[in-house]
Structure 1
Amino acid sequence: MAKRQSNLLNDLLLKQYVRVGAPVAKSDGAGLTFTLSSAGTAAWILRFSHGGRQQEITLGRYPDLGLSAARKLAAEKRVEVQQGRNPALAVRRAKTRKDWTVRQLAEDYKNLVLSKLSDSTQRGYGRNLKRIESGMGAMSVTDVEPSDIVVRVEKAQLGWVESNTLLTVMKALFRHAAGKKIINVNPAIGVELSAILGERPEKRKRLMLTAEELHVLMTAKMSTENRLAVGVLLATGVRISELFTARREHVFLDEARWHIPKSKTGPEMDIPLAPAVVEWLGELAKVTSDSAYVIPARLRTRNERFDGDAHISKDAIREAIDFWITNHEPKIRRFTPHDLRSTMKSHMRKLGVSSDISEMCLNHKLVGVEGIYDQHNYYDERRAALELWACFLLNCEAGHEWTVRPFRQSAA
């Protein structure tokens, strides 16, 4: 490589070339050349040899890149050539790489990834994608750094759980960018929520409502629909999402059976219905006879958004419970719909129902090897357990002492 001759160019000469405006190409030595086009664009070009071929790259425009800065940058590029790297190849790769904004990346992620996930995941991720787009949507994906991820979490000012979801979404979003080779490194990797917000607070323990509290709940001053919905939720142990999305076509009252389709939260399952639950679902059917859903939406605007028929919102039952507790101040601890599942599980164990049967009543998979090889659905055993549980609830409703004999599982 030729030795660069020093001081071939100086600032005075460069300014003179620009002032005259005539096209020029003046070497500064060792491949560094100052060029001025007929259009008046001044730039620095570095010519070099790599792999036996003559190549060149544009280092930058003058006067944005001054003489001393151009010489320094040219020296750095020559070092790369000496180390076997081709600076021109890196420039070509940068030009072909997609220069997306975070908002464009989010749209692509929604179409290609998020749309394939479960409805609940789409809601949670979609909510946080809006936060990301609002805070950094105009940024170039290639400009996002780990510090930007930290700032986005801090500025959101969310609770620990929702902040964790926000960080998870950002990690997934920029993993998508890395997969498309828009970036080489995911800026969210290595960011730890505990370093931003501290250690995760202790999880709220699930409640087991007592028999006295169950009496208060079973006799609650709620609307007929809400009271029946809470009763079905409590007596069957289903997830709240399984109840509010339940369709009438899946409820077979003449067979005392409710079919739960497969979902992200559990496999498909047939739930045996105790006589009391059949009666409650029958009452609901009379109240909501014109809907395809077991518990239809009550707001006209919600139905209109879904072609005239929709189920209640995911928060409707929880809000009904909160409204009842806040306004009537019953003698019961504040609870969530999910606490009704833990209540059923705990009381079933007290009633003598085995752990495996009570777990299957909650549509939980058996753990370990047993869960892999034992494919029996224990329908009869679950029916007996759920009928015992419903009988216990009716006793609680009536305020009677429990006198029914404990559950005895039939021999295999």
Structure 2
Amino acid sequence: MLNDLKIKQLKSKEKVYRVADHSGLCIEVRPTGKKFWRFRYRFLNKPQMLTIGQYPEISLSYARTKTNEFREQLAKNTDPAAVKKTERLEAMQAQEETFRAIAREYCDHKKKSKSANWLYVRNHAYDVDIFPLIGDKPIKDVSSVDIKNIMDNAIKRVLKSGRGTGENRAITIRQHIAEVMQYAIISDRLYNDPTYALRGYIHSPETENAQPVNSKDRKLIMPSIDKYTGAISTKNALKTLIYTMLRTVEIRRGLKEYIDFEARTWTIPVASRSDILAGKRNMKKNRIHVVPLSDQVMGIIKAQFAAYPDSPYIFPGVDNSVMIGPTTLNQAFRNMGLGHITMHDFRATASTDLNEANYNSNWIELQLAHVKSDKVKATYDHAKWLNDRRKMMQDWADMIDKWKE
């Protein structure tokens, strides 16, 4: 039998030679001086030989342990070489089927039917919250505990950033992981979805509905915007949002071609299917919407056209070729010390004030672009009561100008 001293004393020769240990285990000494553990056996009456590994990286005790495993396999009429080949294939397959690889495959499968924004949201979640913990882990080895840790870390990260409490982020991340897990199941790479156990782990905080702006804040808003030291485009976008009752996304994506100076209207068209898939939806609901423009808004838009003649957008971002960022307007209000007011609060303010002033509720709802259940009918309502709404929008703009008094 061999021991470490005997193995170390073995010298290389011109040809390969082997020295037996026992039970079929031997060490092979090559002309280069390298020594390898080998297991010799017979299966179905044919001589076979397996390489266990190189000495001293593979110790004598480990080589003997592997030999015993091989002999147990032979006792069960199983070829150790076939077992080793299967294990190697499984290891290679596991390396190819990491969570990262399956997630990328899933997104590639979906990208033709989803928008660019859908793809961006998932890739951002993968890179920031998910891949650092499980990206290189075989998907079949990802556990519910792994996903719980990802969700917990996301909450801590959001809390530290000061941008919320993080529950909604954690829930969204679980949903993104679940999509990949379900794709792995239907593509026969997984049997169980570990996200299922976490469906009730974190509860979404109660939604804070938009509230009308109070009288104290109203006096501060327009003067604060006037004094704001940020971009002119941002200041004008804020004023226009307040005057027009439009949503942030509608302000951001507003194109100059939507403006009819003669008719004094801003007409938001229906987005095409290709635009929607590219993340270019013009409105929350994809329908045509006409906004009568007050004197105040007409003045702002003319100023924007003059200030940014080369931009396709009414309110461009830092680069004239791109729109204002998704958080720019809310961030501007935070910089003014008005961060407790959201852009949606102004729509609630308009609805409340105009209803209290006895304007027709149908005019108000139509101007807010609240879609009726009958969407076909809603498509043809965009120009309804246009003259009435034109007067209402001018009155609304005048009411806003009186806030600072």
Query: TM-score, normalization: structure 2?
Result: 0.67
3-state SS of 2:344 partner: helix
Asked if structure 1 preserves the Cα contact closer than 8 Å seen for 2:168 and 2:205, the reply is no
Within 1, Cα distance between the matches of 2:293 and 2:133? 51
In the other structure, the counterpart of 2:346 is 340
Asked if structure 2 preserves the Cα contact closer than 8 Å seen for 1:293 and 1:311, the reply is yes
Within 2, Cα distance between the matches of 1:287 and 1:69? 78
Is 1:238 the equivalent of 2:246? yes
In the other structure, the counterpart of 1:292 is 312
In the other structure, the counterpart of 2:137 is 139
In the other structure, the counterpart of 1:99 is 95
1:246-395 equivalent positions in 2, closer than 5 A: 246-255=254-263, 256-262=265-271, 263=276, 265-276=284-295, 277-297=297-317, 299=318, 303=319, 309-325=321-337, 334-350=340-356, 351-354=358-361, 358-367=364-373, 370-371=374-375, 374-381=377-384, 383=386, 384-385=388-389, 387-395=391-399
Matched residue type, 1:361? Q
Change (3 A) 1:312 1:65: same
Matched residue type, 1:238? L
3-state SS of 1:99 partner: helix
Change (3 A) 1:219 1:155: closer
Within 1, Cα distance between the matches of 2:17 and 2:404? 104
Identity %: 13
Change (3 A) 1:133 1:88: closer
Deviations 1:253-311 (A, max 9, x none): 223232244245321323232333333322222222231211112x4xxx3xxxx6222
3-state SS of 2:211 partner: coil
3-state SS of 1:254 partner: coil
Within 2, Cα distance between the matches of 1:388 and 1:69? 86
In the other structure, the counterpart of 1:409 is none
Q: Per-residue deviation at 1:92?
A: 10
Asked if structure 1 preserves the Cα contact closer than 8 Å seen for 2:258 and 2:267, the reply is yes
Asked if structure 2 preserves the Cα contact closer than 8 Å seen for 1:247 and 1:292, the reply is yes
Matched residue type, 2:135? G
Change (3 A) 1:309 1:135: same
Within 1, Cα distance between the matches of 2:197 and 2:236? 46
Q: Per-residue deviation at 1:41?
A: 7.7
In the other structure, the counterpart of 1:113 is 110
Within 2, Cα distance between the matches of 1:289 and 1:140? 53
Matched residue type, 1:257? W
Change (3 A) 1:249 1:35: farther
3-state SS of 2:95 partner: coil
Q: Per-residue deviation at 1:241?
A: 1.9
Within 1, Cα distance between the matches of 2:371 and 2:71? 64
Q: Per-residue deviation at 1:145?
A: 1.9
Could you tell me which runs of 5 or more consecutive residues in structure 1 were left unpaired when the two chains were aligned.
1-11, 50-57, 82-86, 327-332, 402-412
Within 2, Cα distance between the matches of 1:64 and 1:275? 88
Q: Per-residue deviation at 1:194?
A: 4.3
Asked if structure 2 preserves the Cα contact closer than 8 Å seen for 1:178 and 1:184, the reply is yes
Asked if structure 1 preserves the Cα contact closer than 8 Å seen for 2:355 and 2:361, the reply is yes
Query: TM-score, normalization: structure 1?
Result: 0.66
Matched residue type, 2:324? I
Match for residue 183 of structure 2 among 144, 164, 176: 176
Matched residue type, 1:396? I
In the other structure, the counterpart of 1:53 is none
Matched residue type, 1:113? K
Matched residue type, 1:241? V
Asked if structure 2 preserves the Cα contact closer than 8 Å seen for 1:258 and 1:271, the reply is yes
1:190-209 equivalent positions in 2, closer than 5 A: 190-192=196-198, 194-195=200-201, 198-209=202-213
Within 1, Cα distance between the matches of 2:137 and 2:341? 43
Asked if structure 2 preserves the Cα contact closer than 8 Å seen for 1:160 and 1:200, the reply is yes
Change (3 A) 1:114 1:73: farther
Within 2, Cα distance between the matches of 1:229 and 1:251? 15
Matched residue type, 2:131? E
Q: Per-residue deviation at 1:232?
A: 1.8
Within 2, Cα distance between the matches of 1:260 and 1:110? 29
Asked if structure 1 preserves the Cα contact closer than 8 Å seen for 2:142 and 2:194, the reply is no
RMSD of Structure 2 on Structure 1 (CA): 4.7
Within 1, Cα distance between the matches of 2:243 and 2:370? 16
Matched residue type, 2:323? H
Q: Per-residue deviation at 1:166?
A: 1.7
Deviations 1:291-347 (A, max 9, x none): 1211112x4xxx3xxxx6222222222122222236xxxxxx821112223323333
In the other structure, the counterpart of 2:146 is 148
Within 2, Cα distance between the matches of 1:45 and 1:365? 78
Q: Per-residue deviation at 1:97?
A: 4.8
1:159-174 equivalent positions in 2, closer than 5 A: 159-174=166-181
Asked if structure 2 preserves the Cα contact closer than 8 Å seen for 1:237 and 1:344, the reply is yes
